[in-house]
Structure 1
Amino acid sequence: MGKPIIEYAEVIRSKNAGPYELTFDIIFKDRKIYERVKENKLINKNLISRLYGIEKDQISSIIFFEPARAVKITIVRPLSAGAPGERDVYGAQQHVPLLSIEI
């Protein structure tokens, strides 16, 4: 069993990436853990698909950004921002499933 990602990340957040996509950022505290996550492909489409209950084709991208020790995940929004029934126009509360990741 690993440790919760929150022990290794300084920032875990979500936000709009336009009206039809959400983006998630995980910024790691140190380079060593960032490299471990990246090299072992610990954050991948299978994981994000499972955490968010979406198909893999709804994941636009998973990008590792070396200078910031970060991974950026972009997914298609289930409902466009502001659509009837949509509950988080800014996308700021959608990162919670990422907190269950263990490293």
Structure 2
Amino acid sequence: MATLLDYCALVRSKNAGPFTLTFDFMAKDERTFTALCATGALSPGLFASLFHVAETEVVVTPVPAALAIKVSLPRPVVQGARGDSDTYAGQQYGPLMAMTLPELDR
């Protein structure tokens, strides 16, 4: 099995304002971008279950020109509010790094 880092040159999370969390998955090349999209692994259901939001609130946007997939969803806790353990949201991608994906064709 493969990991996100087998497909992506960069995986990151960050704030998109105080109410929105965003993820960027930047593929290594066109082949891995196409393969990552085809897995369907970065689905609204995955992010809904990990971050306890409704699946309908998760937006997954492939950006072919950038060889990237962008995912946006409401922050589980508003930035800076009591209980916010990651004010810049830079560590929210962590649980995704253990995810397994189909092996890439070499």
2-structure distance, mates of 1:51, 1:100: 13
Aligned residue number for residue 23 of structure 1: 22
Q: Which runs of 5+ in 2 are unaligned?
A: 102-106
Query: Which amino acid in the other structure matches residue 97 of structure 1?
Result: P
2:93 pairs with one of 92, 95, 99? 95
1-structure distance, mates of 2:66, 2:92: 21
Matched position secondary structure for 1:74: strand
Segment of structure 1 superposing worse, 82-91 or 44-53: 44-53
Q: How many residues align?
A: 101
RMSD across aligned positions (CA)? 1.5
Provide the TM-score with structure 2 as the length reference: 0.84
Superposition misfits of 4+ residues, deviation over 6 angstroms: none
2-structure distance, mates of 1:62, 1:89: 22
Aligned residue number for residue 41 of structure 1: 40
Provide the TM-score with structure 1 as the length reference: 0.86
Indicate conservation of the 8 Å contact 1:16/1:23, yes or no. Answer: yes
Aligned residue number for residue 70 of structure 1: 68
Percent of aligned positions with the same letter in both sequences?
30
Rate the CA distance shift 1:7–1:84 in 2: closer, same or farther, 3 A: same
1-structure distance, mates of 2:42, 2:83: 29
